[in-house]
Structures are given as structure tokens and as C-alpha cells.
Amino acid sequence: MSNTKQLKCPRCFSSDLVKFGKCPKTGKQKYRCKICKCQFIQGHLPLKRKNLSLNLGSCPKCGRRLHLRKRNKNTLQIRCSDRINCRYSFSYVYRDFKRFLEEAENEDFFKIPKYFKYPVSLVFKALKMYFIYKLSLRAIKRELSLVYPKAPSPTTILKWVRNLGYFFSLLSSNKFVEVKNPSKIWLVDDSVIRIRGRKFRLFVVLGYSERVVLAWYLSATKDKEAVKKVLMLALQFNKEKPSCIVSDFAQNIQEAVREVFKDNVLHIRVRLFKRGGCFSNNRLERFFSTIKERFKLRKQPKSFLSAKLQILIIIALYNLSPHNSIKEAPLRMIAQIKNIPHYVEGVIKCFV
């Protein structure tokens, strides 16, 4: 006991210690501080906490260093290193995809082993069964249990699906996609997506001849501001104005096209499921039916973020998969993918 009083905590220099078992590797006595809960062995420094090398800035209250406490699905929990006096903490949510893409350019931001504790081959098999073969989560678990002794749970597979959306979100950045042959004819329309029974509008801009999705935007309202948003996103991705825009007779689309392009683009309005003639919106309506089939096969998304991730993955697979009519991936017809992180390229090769 006297030896315990002579010792001091290497973190807060307190002498209020208790014995805390023995180290399983070395067999030496461990001690624990009653104040800061630090565990250490006499003559050894305490184990370094994870992510101490990350430069997360200083605490706004005391000026001490901030460190990463926990990483959730889409949230970072950050707190002050002075846990005794300050205890300042906050959560950082990655709901802004533009900000996420800027930070995800660094290859050390996230990698496959950080999220996936199972073998990568098992993860890709599960995701292929979910997206390509359209099996349910429990059916995927049954199929994997025939090959692997310890199959993942349906909840774990669903987490992999959500994480895959972040990998494919990198392809929506112009920094990884270089457009060489811009699309000249755009199809613009919207469709209804239900999230927990509530109606949302999915606006999509599709290239007519290339059949590539240039931009999409999920909005709670059907107004001209939402149409202007999706047109600006398509213009930012395509980098050139189209020569013609085809849409239905919706008033909000007509006003948005006039405000964005100022009558410099030919706007053709056609009826729904029109047959014959030069242009029609049938290809875009067929794309909407593909999305609705995927949503009907699964349950309705429970949140706005979950719906955005599902739409993002569906559109990414649609742009990167070769089509029977054009016998090539739509995105590769107008652009070249380059300087993409190696782990994202590995994910794409497993699905395309």
C-alpha cells in the first residue's frame, strides 16, 4: 500500500491510485487513477490514444488540443483533451456532400478496413447480391453462411450499403471526372419519391443520346427554384450549355429554363409518353421507373439522408454500367475518370 502512495499518475500526477489487475502480456501489476481513470504500469507510459496525430484544432474554452473520440456512420464526435476541468465536446455531421467531397480528397480520410472488419471479398459479394441480384438482407446472410463460417448480420450488411454511398459520392465531383464530349440535348423532368409516406420530388437531367445522368436533386417542393438548382448542377458538370432542352408542359421548368439560360437555348415541350417525332421524354420516364422498381423492391427509406444515398448508388451504377442499346457505359461516352483514389477504383471494378 505504501508503494501505491509513492506512485503518481503519469497523466494528472495524482497519488490517489488503486490496483487494477495484472497485464495479460507481461504479468506486471496495473494501476488505475481514481481521478482521470488512467490505467498504467509502473515504469511504463500509458498507451497513446488513437487519432492523437489528427490536427483537429484547439478547444474554444480552454485552448487545449481537441481529439477524435468516436466515429459513427456519418458523425464525428470531437472533445477536449482536458477531460477533468473542461469536458467540452461537440459532434460534426457530414450531411453536406460538397464539404464531404472536399475533405474526402485525402486518401487517409477513410479506407475500406476502417469501416469493414470482414474480408473485402465478403463485403463485395454481399453488396453485389444486394444491388445486382436484388436479394434481401436475410437471404444474403443465408447465402454467405454457406461459404463463410461467420456470416455478417443483416444490420451489418445494411451499414455496408450506406458506406458504399460515400464511395460513389466521389464520382459526382468534377475533380475526378473530366468531361470531353459534353451532352448537347438534355431531358428534364421530375418524379415522386416517398420518404416515410411523405412526398419528395426527384429532379433529374439526362443526356438524350448518351443516356447519362448529368445531375439530380431531391427536393421537398416542386417549384422553379428546385429546377434551377438541378440545371445549375448539370451545367457545372457538363461545362457547356446545351443546344436543346426537352421537358413536359410544367410551368416551373419553363420559368427556370428562361431564367437560367435567358432564351439562348431551344426549349421543346412534349407530351407524356409521346410516340414519334424527333424528341420525347420516354428515356427519362424509363429511368424513373428503374428507380421506383429499386425503391419498391426495398422498403421505403426512413430518412432524407438514406434516400439520397440510395439514389446516389443507383445513379452511379446506372452511369458506370454498360447499356445494351449503346454497348458502353454512359459516363464513359462523355467523360474520362482520372486521379480517383485507389480504393474507390477497386469498388467500381467489382460492380461494373
> Is residue 102 over pLDDT 60?
no
Q: Give the three-state DSSP class for 116.
A: coil
In this predicted model, which residue has the larger pLDDT, 61 or 266? 266
Angle between helices 154-169 and 342-351 (to 10 degrees): 120
Pair (188, 264) in one structural domain: yes
Pair (333, 272) in one structural domain: yes
For 54, counting Cβ atoms within 10 Å of its Cβ (0-12 exposed, 13-18 middle, 19+ buried), the class is: middle
> Is residue 187 over pLDDT 90?
yes
Last residue of a domain, one of 93, 121, 153: 93
Q: Is residue 104 part of a domain?
A: no
Q: Are the C-beta atoms of 206 and 214 separated by less than 8 Å?
A: yes
Number of domains in the chain: 3
**Angle CA 48–53–57, to nearest 5:** 120
Residue 249 half-sphere exposure, CB side, CA atoms within 13 Å?
5
Q: Is residue 166 part of a domain?
A: no
The backbone torsions φ and ψ at residue 277, rounded to the nearest 5 degrees and listed phi first, read 85, 180
Strands (E), 37-184: 39-41, 66-71, 75-80, 89-93, 177-179
Q: Is residue 270 part of a domain?
A: yes
> Is residue 54 over pLDDT 70?
no
Question: What does the pLDDT read at residue 111?
Answer: 45
> Is residue 59 over pLDDT 70?
yes
Q: Are the C-beta atoms of 91 and 78 separated by less than 8 Å?
A: yes
Range of the domain at 322: 179-338
Question: What does the pLDDT read at residue 101?
Answer: 46
Report for 32-41, 90-99, 102-111: range of highest mean pLDDT: 32-41
Pair (80, 13) in one structural domain: no
Q: Is residue 77 part of a domain?
A: yes
> Is residue 204 over pLDDT 90?
yes
Q: Give the three-state DSSP class for 105.
A: coil
In this predicted model, which residue has the larger pLDDT, 115 or 14? 14
Q: Is residue 37 part of a domain?
A: yes
Pair (55, 36) in one structural domain: no
Question: What does the pLDDT read at residue 253?
Answer: 92
Pair (251, 282) in one structural domain: yes
Angstrom distance (rounded) from CA 149 to CA 167: 28
Pair (319, 188) in one structural domain: yes
* Residue 260: pLDDT band with limits 50, 70, 90: very high
Last residue of a domain, one of 93, 121, 154: 93
Has this prediction a pTM greater than 0.85? no
Q: Is residue 351 part of a domain?
A: no
Residues 325-332 have a mean pLDDT of 80
Q: Is residue 100 part of a domain?
A: no
Question: What does the pLDDT read at residue 13?
Answer: 75
Angstrom distance (rounded) from CA 162 to CA 317: 15
Which CA distances in Å does 348 have to 133, 195, 232, 246? 16, 28, 27, 31
Pair (313, 199) in one structural domain: yes
Pair (15, 62) in one structural domain: no
* Residue 309: pLDDT band with limits 50, 70, 90: confident
* Residue 206: pLDDT band with limits 50, 70, 90: very high
Report for 12-16, 147-151, 159-163, 181-185: range of highest mean pLDDT: 181-185
Name the maximum alpha-carbon separation found in the chain: 96
Q: Give the three-state DSSP class for 276.
A: coil
Residue 181 bridge partners (DSSP): none
Pair (71, 219) in one structural domain: no
In this predicted model, which residue has the larger pLDDT, 296 or 265? 265
Q: Are the C-beta atoms of 97 and 169 separated by less than 8 Å?
A: yes
Last residue of a domain, one of 63, 93, 123: 93
Pair (9, 70) in one structural domain: no
> Is residue 115 over pLDDT 60?
no
Q: Is residue 7 part of a domain?
A: yes
Question: What does the pLDDT read at residue 150?
Answer: 82
Pair (225, 88) in one structural domain: no
Q: Are the C-beta atoms of 304 and 195 separated by less than 8 Å?
A: yes
Which CB contacts under 8 angstroms, 24+ apart, belong to 54-63? 59/86, 59/88, 60/88, 61/86, 61/88, 62/86, 62/88
Pair (30, 59) in one structural domain: no
Considering only 52-61, 265-274, 324-333, which range has the smallest mean pLDDT?
A: 52-61
Residue 70 bridge partners (DSSP): 77
* Residue 2: pLDDT band with limits 50, 70, 90: very low
Indicate the length of the chain as a whole number. 352
